[in-house]
Structure formats: structure tokens, C-alpha cells
Chain A
Amino acid sequence: MMINRKYAACGLLIIAAIAASVLIITVNRKADINVSEVIQKIEDVLPPYIEGKSEMRYNTEMPMMSIDGHDYVGILEIPSKQIKLPVCSCWDEHIAKSIPCRYSGSIYSDLIIGGKNKKDNFDFLNTVDIGDTVSFVDMTGQIYNYKVNSVYHKKEFDIEGAESKLVMFTYLNDVSKYVFVTCE
């Protein structure tokens, strides 16, 4: 009887180990996206840039370009940091590990973009300076230019006060804080 219990306990622990492994793989799963390749494919078919207009739109949704199975709403550029990244159309934790994703809103109203603190993603966000130029090109070739007007950190995810035209955020694991960059 004792042996059966030990076998059962042993089996349960092995199952727990396998389950934990599967969960780790799932949680850490990264979307297989080659940033430079995606940028190249988008730029190949974008029309010449024209300056985006601030105008009232009833439909503020952004057109999406489908590249290799993923939908993108634009290209984010920060020249001073030599950053050029595609922005995925909707929030997905797995995709956000690879490239920035739209968290909410629209470039035609106010847009919030998030990304993991990793290379080819938002690992530069904590180094952005106030006054840096940020550009966002939508998929129709309209370019919207902004200036960084604040960079701040918060323990919890709180975007209530971030009423800016463009907000970018990432989570800094080493200090367990979010960094928010707002632009106008």
C-alpha cells in the first residue's frame, strides 16, 4: 500500500514537472518575426510619405497591412536612437515579446503602444530623452510627427494619467517598474 502511494506521488510530481515545462514554453513563446524583414516588406509597398493631418474622423480605426500572417498598423521611428519598428495591430502578449503592439487607441486620436524590454523591441525606451522626435507612419503612408514630452516610471500599469497623443510603454524586469514615454 505504501509503495502504491509513493508511485502515485512520484507520478503526480512528474506530471507537475511536465505541466510546468509546457507552461514555461507557452508563456515564453515568442512570435517568429524578423523585424528588418517586415520593415522592408512594408516599405516596399508604402506610397511616398505625406504629412498626416489632424482632423476629426468618425472612423478612427487604422488600416492594417498583412505581412506573413501578422497584421501591422504602422512603422514607429525614433531617429535619435536609430529605431525603426513595425507596430502590430492589436495587443498580444506573445507578439509583444517580439515587436511593439498597439495596446489601445489609434494614431488618428490617441495611441498607446507597448513592447517587451528586448532587442528589436522597446529595450531603448528607458533611454529616450524629452524632446526626441518620434514618427509614426500609418499603412497609407501618412506620417505623424511627435516630440517626447515626458518619461516616467510606475510600479503598476496605470495609463489613466497618460493623456497624450502617443504613449509607449515597457516593463523593466530588473527594477520591476513600467516606463512610460508620452509624446505630443
Chain B
Amino acid sequence: MKSRSSTRFFILITGIFVILFAFSAAALQTYSPIDTERECSLKLTYHSKEKYFEGMEIQIFHVADVSSDSKYTLTDTFKAYPININAITSQTEWDSAASTLTAYIIADSVSPTQKSVTDKNGIVRFTDLKTGLYLVRWTKNQTKDTIYGFEPFMIALPSLDDNAEWTYDVDCYPKPGEPDTPTNEEIEYKVVVLWDDLGFEDQRPDSVQVEVFKDGVSVGIYTVTELENWTFTWTAIDDGSVWTVVEYVTGLKYDVTVTRFGNVFTIVNYYRGTAESRKPDNTNSYYTNSNNTNSRNTGYYNSSQTIRYDSNINPLKTGTHSNSLVYLMVVSIISGIISVTLAVNGRRLNDDQ
């Protein structure tokens, strides 16, 4: 079993950016507007306690433009993907967005906005960047039998610094996960499709298509249905290959995230719903998607709005009703028998007369 503890380490670094994003959102009303015409730069330093990661190819992708009031609009390259950037508020969601976009990038061989190789100090610099949201990913770094993992992550340019000022030249120190050593044994990979569509379950498709990639090369498309409880598995030798999956859902009803923990790929389909039934809370106006040119509904809502009740003021008190019904049934049957007896006797009397 491959160690995926790199995810935990990745969380540390992405946490910083999530906080920055949160501040970016909060800046809508309290911080100075972003100069969207200004050029940005990004310096990334890849090193661990033991080593600097030299010669590692780093790719960055311009995922979304940013407005002066911190709203994101997916760029032409990414607007077709079922991701709702403006509805993301938590670290977990940013992690999911990064891994999902990476899967689509691999599947569609999307060209990076820029790419470069780390120097002997593990440093790579990107300049002349437009403001906006970027995805940073690495290509596999393998030394002898050991694989070092850096999870993809999102970063906003500009970002807020410690003084709550926009900084257009951003330094970042991604942390590596624990190195993995391939076992060269057969292991099982699993895909599970989850649904976030409470109240709209009838909108689910009969099936979804999931394409599996090994080191960026498609190895098959699987049809996943409810019959298999929306799951499927495959086995492969653990040889250090990087496996990714993407899901294809027909129509535009769902936003999708793909995350991987261990050997399990979890795909969550978020029903976009209707504007009325899943209207975002107006108090959080900076989460809305009004500036998003891909014109999708946000599909995000508060669970308390859609939870279904059976108009039950006293849930689980059905025992009382049940007892009453038993009483009613017994009385009715006994009365029925008496009535039938009386009726038959009455008819006999009439016949006799």
C-alpha cells in the first residue's frame, strides 16, 4: 500500500493559501482593490530537511482571472470544466479543486501557462504572470527507487501579506510528503462515486463514465452505475506509476470533485440545482457566482434548507398510532363477526316467516 501521507504535509502549505484566499474574499469590502493590470511573479522553493529538489519540472496553469474585488472567472481553457471556484471556502475544497483540475489537465493534455525546472536550490521562478488564480503541479520526481510527492495546489496572485496588503511577487514553499517506495506488488485501486444532491436524487443519471489514466495515458473508460453501488475497482502493479481518474457526466447538472486518499479515488457530484431551491445566502455575497462567465448555478447551499421532513412533529412516536390501529382492527373484526351472525340469523327468521 502506497503511503499517501504527502497529503497531510500538503495540507500545511495549502492551509496558508486558503487563509490567504479567505482574506482575499474578505478584502472585498475592507481591502484595497486589486490592480488587475499589474504583472505578478511567483517563486517556488522545493526542499525538505534532507535535500533540495533539483531538476523537477514545475508547471503552472492560469485557472481563473480575478476582478478588482476578488471575484474569480474561469479562463477560457478551464471554463468548460465542472468546477465552481467562487463557491470554494474551505481548505478541503481547495485541495479537491486542485486535484480535480489536475486530473482534467492530464486527461485533456492541457498545456501549462508556463513551465520551468527547479535549480540546484530547488527554486523555480515564474514572471510576467497575469493576476488571477493558478494551479501549480509538478511532474514525477524519482531518484533510484524513491518517489517524492508534492500535491498540486492553487495559489492566488496577488496574495495578501502579513500586513494585509496585496503582494504581487509571491514566495511559496511547498512541502513534500513522505517519500514512497513502490512495492512492485499487485494492489487494488478503487473508485467510488458519491452524490451531493439531496432532494434531487431523481436527477441522477443512470450511469457515469470514468476514465482511468496511468502516467497520463488512458487505460480505459468504465461505465459506473447504481447496480454496482457506483463503485468499481482495478488491480495493477505498484511500480510508482501515477494514476488519475476523471468523470464524465452528461448534461450540466453537476459540479465534480475528484480526490485521492490511499488507493481510493472519491468522486463527488454536486447537483447545481435551481437558482431558487439552492440560492446562496445573500449575506455571503462574495461567494456568489454572478461574475462567472460560464453562467452556471452555484449549486451550493445550506443543508438546513433542503432537509426533508415528513411533517413529523414528534418523530418515532409511531408506536402509539400502531397500538390504536390494532385496537381498531380487533374491534372492527369482532363487530363484523357479530354483524354477520346477526344478519344471517335475521335472514333465517325472515325465511321462516
Q: How far is the CA of A170 from the CA of B4 in the complex (A)?
A: 39
A149 at the interface (CB under 8 A from B): no
Q: In the complex, which range does the number of interface residues on chain B fall in?
A: 35 or more
Contact of A66 among B92, B229, B270 (CB under 8 A): B229
A10 at the interface (CB under 8 A from B): yes
**A90 touching B195 in the complex, CB below 8 Å, given contacts A10-B336, A13-B335:** no
Which B residues lie within 8 Å of A69 (CB)?
Answer: 226
Q: How far is the CA of A28 from the CA of B302 in the complex (A)?
A: 32
Query: Which residues between 293 and 349 of chain B lie within 8 Å of chain A, taking CB atoms?
Result: 299-304, 306-310, 312-319, 321-322, 325-326, 328-329, 332-333, 335-336, 339-340, 342-343, 346-347
- Say whether B336 contacts A93, CB under 8 Å: no
Which B residues lie within 8 Å of A9 (CB)?
Answer: 339
- Say whether B336 contacts A140, CB under 8 Å: no
At the interface with chain B, which of A57-65, A76-84, A127-135?
Answer: A57-65
B57 at the interface (CB under 8 A from A): no
Write out, one digit per residue, whether chain B residues 260-304 have a CB within 8 A of any chain A CB (1) or not (0): 111110101010000000001100100100000000000111111
B91 at the interface (CB under 8 A from A): yes
What is the chain B residue whose CB lies nearest that of A61?
A: B303
- Say whether A63 contacts B336, CB under 8 Å: no
- Say whether A3 contacts B343, CB under 8 Å: yes
- Say whether B303 contacts A109, CB under 8 Å: yes
B198 at the interface (CB under 8 A from A): yes
Write out, one digit per residue, whether chain B residues 83-112 have a CB within 8 A of any chain A CB (1) or not (0): 000011111110000000000000000000
- Say whether A55 contacts B316, CB under 8 Å: no
Contact of B268 among A28, A140, A142, A173 (CB under 8 A): A140
Contact of B332 among A2, A13, A102 (CB under 8 A): A13
Q: How far is the CA of A50 from the CA of B260 in the complex (A)?
A: 12
> B residues within 8 Å of A by Cβ?
4, 7-8, 22, 87-93, 190, 192, 194-198, 201, 226, 229-231, 259-264, 266, 268, 270, 280-281, 284, 287, 299-304, 306-310, 312-319, 321-322, 325-326, 328-329, 332-333, 335-336, 339-340, 342-343, 346-347, 350
Given contacts A17-B329, A58-B89, A71-B201, list 11 more A-B pairs with CB under 8 A. A10-B336, A10-B339, A10-B343, A17-B332, A17-B336, A46-B192, A58-B284, A61-B306, A102-B307, A139-B192, A157-B313
Minimum-distance CB pairs A-B, first 10: A47-B261, A10-B339, A47-B264, A20-B329, A17-B332, A63-B194, A13-B336, A59-B300, A171-B316, A6-B343
